[in-house]
Amino acid sequence: MSHTPFACTSPSDEKAMLDAVNAKSFDDLFDLIPADFQTDSFNVPDGLSEMEMMQHIRKIARKNSSDLTNFCGAGFYDHFIPAAVDSLTSRGEFFTAYTPYQPEAAQGTLQAAYEYQTAIARLTDMEVSNASLYDGGTALFEGMMMALRITKRNRVLVDTGVSPIYRTMLRSYTRNLKIEYQEIPLSGGVADRAAFKAALTTDVGAVLIQNPNFFGCIDDLTDLIEDIHAVKAISVLSAYPVSLGLIKTPGAMGADIVTGEGQSLGLPLSFGGPYLGFMATRKKLVRNMPGRIVGATTDDQGRRGYVLTLQAREQHIRREKAASNICTNMQLCALRSIVYLSLMGKHGFADVARQCMDRAGYAWTRLKAIPGVEPLFDRPFFNEFALKLPKDASEVVSDLIEEGIAAGFPAGRYYEGMENVLLFAFTEKRTKKEIDILAAKLEAVL
């Protein structure tokens, strides 16, 4: 692969720059990129007119199958979104300036963020929330870094029930940091207490856990969190927000920091984003919390007002000395979430969670009755579970796509030895008839 050399520089300038980074040539800068991903040309086509571009995009869009019945989960879920969410969040009043550093001009934006924080704190049963982060994976990373800043340690224990997508992100984000990871394998589908206890030494700064975990298994992690606190480490728990309408909250388990993916709170799947990450914590830890935090106050006339609080923008531009390099939030996505939660209300939200669990319970009975199919783990679950199939799960998914069904997530993509394991998810949108069709089609392809 041959690259264009530095522009607007003399040969001596180029050599000085290369010497500064210990590179012999410009091509050396690309050594970390595998050869398969390098190219001799970017192959950028000629420009198109607006009409030609729209015709081209529509042609590509027609290749998508938009009528698949979706049983995929693995952290992102096909929930029903009331039409009012789109209607309200599309109003012109919300098309405000990007960043609300001038509260006198951004009270609406700030109040929406404040209400979002209140809802997340109540949902997770924690004391304080920030105004959102980028997504569930980066939120978990920020929670881990927050824990390490507080404990001033660099060893991290990670349960393998934590989403493998998130774990890949963690390793990518911390590749050049002096952080020691130790992954603790599952025991019977949940966190291995004995293995954690053996690994919980006084140099552990953070322990990352998830509930329900990647395989959908529910676990009361109270005892594990007590063990984490015994060595003065900090627990960071990743949660699926809809499940909190029914199951024990992270706050009730004693978690220190709670993060998660907010996509299921009024955001469409939308081919992968944009989404938002949520984060909540204890009041005593709030000064180490990254991202924006909106506070309520009163002005000199006694009127209620909202401002960014506890953090100055300057802390985010101090490079390695900054508490975090997250100096923004997913405001429009957070707005959709608070509109969705407000529309659902306390009882409506719990009803959505109950419907998800009920449909998954019915599907569990139907699918494990298919000859050759058996549960990966026989554990309580919320709306998601994994089954072992008598053939490769990826092949099964491909076969069922042809039948109009997005059957699930093949666990073998991330877990060695689980090539025959398929992870199924069920939301309030899935009907009994659709589940019966899934069972019949699955039995047929097996």
Q: What is the DSSP string of 176-237?
A: TS--EEEEE-EETTEE-HHHHHHH--TTEEEEEEEES-TT-B----HHHHHHHHHTT-EEEE
State the Cα–Cα distance between residues 341 and 339, nearest whole angstrom.
6
pLDDT at 421 over 70: yes
Determine the distance from the C-alpha atom of residue 366 to the mean position of all C-alpha atoms in its chain, rounded to a whole number: 30
Q: Would you say residue 5 has pLDDT above 70? A: no
Q: How far is CA 66 from CA 268, 274, 404, 406, 423, in A?
A: 13, 19, 9, 11, 21
Cβ atoms of residues 442 and 367 within 8 Å: yes
- pLDDT tens digits along 228-255: 999 999 999 999 999 999 999 999 999 9
Domain ranges of the chain: 11-44, 69-79+345-445, 83-339
Superfamily designation of domain 69-79+345-445: Aspartate Aminotransferase, domain 1 (3.90.1150.10)
As a whole number, mean pLDDT of residues 88-93 equals 88
How confident is the model at residue 313, as a pLDDT? Answer: 61
Residue 3 is predicted with a pLDDT of 56
- Whether residue 336 is predicted with pLDDT greater than 80 in this model: the reply is yes
* CA 89 – CA 86 distance, rounded (Å): 5
Residue 61's DSSP bridge partners are none
Report in angstroms the alpha-carbon separations of 328 from 101, 138, 146, 276.
Answer: 11, 13, 16, 11
Question: What tens digit of pLDDT does each residue of 48-63 get?
Answer: 999 999 999 999 888 8
Percentage, residues of the chain above pLDDT 70: 93
Q: Does 209 or 319 have the greater pLDDT score? A: 209
SS3 278: strand
* pLDDT tens digits, one per residue of 339-356: 999 999 999 999 999 999
The answer to whether residue 8 scores a pLDDT higher than 70 is no
Residue 353 CB contacts under 8 Å (≥ 6 apart), including other chains = 242, 243, 244, 245, 246, 382
> Class of 83-339 per CATH?
alpha beta
> Region 133-147: what's the mean pLDDT?
96
The pLDDT confidence band at residue 312, using thresholds 50, 70 and 90, is low
In terms of Cα–Cα distance, which of 111, 428, 155 is closest to 297? 111
| pLDDT classification of 94: cutoffs 50, 70, 90 | confident
The yes-or-no verdict on residue 177 having pLDDT over 60 is yes
In the prediction, which pLDDT does 37 show? 83
pLDDT of the residue at 272: 87
Cis previous bond, 390, omega within 30: no
CA–CA distance, 259 with 277 (Å, rounded to integer): 7
Confidence of residue 114 (pLDDT cuts 50, 70, 90): very high
Q: Which of 103-107, 250-254, 439-443 has the lowest mean pLDDT?
A: 103-107
Closest listed residue to residue 408, CA positions, set 372, 380, 376: 376
pLDDT tens digits for 68-79? Answer: 999 999 999 999
CA neighbor of 352 nearest in space, from 243, 218, 238: 243
Query: In terms of C-beta density within 10 A (0-12 exposed, 13-18 middle, 19 or more buried), how is residue 414 classed?
Result: middle
